[in-house]
Amino acid sequence: MSKLLEGKTALVLGVANKWSLAYAIARAFTREGARLILTYQGERQKETVEELAQELKAARVLACDVQQQQEIDQLAHTLRGDGGRVDTVMHSIAFANREDLSRPFIETSRSGYLLAQEISSFSLVAIARATSPLMTAGGSLTTLTYLGSARVVPNYNVMGVAKAALEATVRYLASELGPQQIRVNAISAGPVKTASARGIKDFSKVLEAVAQHAPLRRNTDPAEVADAAVFLASDLGRGLTGNILFVDAGFQIMGL
Ligand code: NAD
Ligand code: IMJ
């Protein structure tokens, strides 16, 4: 069978380690023949991401801390020099202060609220602004969200508010970039034990509850999220924009 992303250049932001959803996505993108470009968050992650990039046969590894506008500008500049065209961007980035994911939501500080919004939601705007001019043959941007945007999930707190903003951001970007044939979508993934889930109070209970109640009676596998990302990045996804695609073993349809 022909590969779904042959001839496409894919930029993947958010690989931190081999448990990252972005790593599973990057693997699937490589499997489907994409030319892969990875970014890392800071010097601390550089070595790990470079090792993973080698394994994935990535063409380039570039720095991009989304809190640093110069790094986003530099990323766009480097990509422009590097042949220019980008076809698909995967945004797999979120952060909130740990204490804001355990204390009562009402105690969220002003700075903690703004930090979660900046990294987890505004960054999609900044990345779209920097990369959409490079999508000269049309393209797609995909981000990752979670059900806590629309429903109250214990401890998700300020991240739930940031994901609600992220999902609205997907719709506004989809509306503006559509005329350039750039599609913008989100995948709402079920809970997966990544670094962003480790140490979260009662996370194993969340996994158990999903496996008990989801229609498919199991948890979400990162490879399933990755295959949905391939679909959205490929021409098979050409009719979808502004969508939130649930890859969660069906959990979100349940009322009880
Ligand atoms: P992860 O910790 O592997 O990935 C989070 C990434 O965000 C890391 O690579 C980290 O470096 C990056 N990041 C944080 N601050 C950054 C900054 N300032 N600049 C650049 N990068 C920054 O965990 P993950 O679970 O793979 O999370 C990826 C995405 O998936 C997140 O948006 C998360 O909200 C979403 N998601 C996760 C789950 C889950 O259960 N794990 C479920 C649904 C959605
Ligand atoms: C995170 C916190 C609370 C409940 C949670 C999660 N549930 C799930 C997650 C039920 C599934 C994972 N998730 C969807 C996230 O988006 C995680 C984001 C996150 C995680 C951390 C942990 C470490 C830290 N800051 C973080 N910021 C964002 O210091």
Number of Cβ within a 10 Å radius of residue 31: 15
Residue 84 has a pLDDT of 79
- Mutation to probe ligand 2, out of 102, 159, 210, 252 (largest number of atoms < 8 A from CB): 159
Four-point Cα dihedral 221, 240, 25, 67, nearest 10: -110
> In the beta sheet, which residues pair with residue 11?
37, 89
Give the helix ranges, DSSP H, for 93-135: 110-117, 123-131
Q: What is the pLDDT of residue 141?
A: 99
When the pLDDT of each residue in the chain is averaged and rounded to a whole number, the result is 97
Classify 112 as helix, strand or coil: helix
pLDDT-derived band of residue 82, with 50, 70 and 90 as boundaries? confident
How far, in Å, is the centroid of ligand 1 from the Cα of 143? 10
Nearest ligand by distance to the CA of 119:
1
Instruction: Name the token pair of 22.
Output: 């972005």
149 pLDDT higher than 90: yes
CA distances in angstroms from 221 to 26, 53, 111, 140, listed in the order given: 15, 21, 34, 23
CATH superfamily of 9-251: NAD(P)-binding Rossmann-like Domain (3.40.50.720)
Cα–Cα distance measured from residue 230 to residue 5, given in angstroms and rounded to the nearest whole number: 8
Output the pTM of the full model.
Answer: 0.98
Nearest protein Cα to ligand 1, atom 13:
93
Q: Where are the beta strands (DSSP E) in the chain?
A: 9-13, 35-40, 60-63, 88-91, 139-145, 182-189, 244-247
First to last CA, the chain: 41
For the stretch 17-32, pLDDT in tens is 999 999 999 999 999 9
Q: Please report where in the chains the tokens 């109250």 appear, as a residue.
A: 152
The residues with which 85 forms a beta bridge, in sequence order, are none
pLDDT, one tens digit per residue, over 185-226 is: 999 999 999 999 988 999 999 999 999 999 999 999 999 999
Domain ranges of the chain: 9-251
Mutate to test the pocket of ligand 2, among 101, 145, 163, 251 (most ligand atoms within 8 A of CB): 101
- DSSP-assigned beta bridge partners for residue 138: 136
Closest CA to 135 of 196, 95, 86: 86
Assess whether 156 carries a catalytic annotation: yes
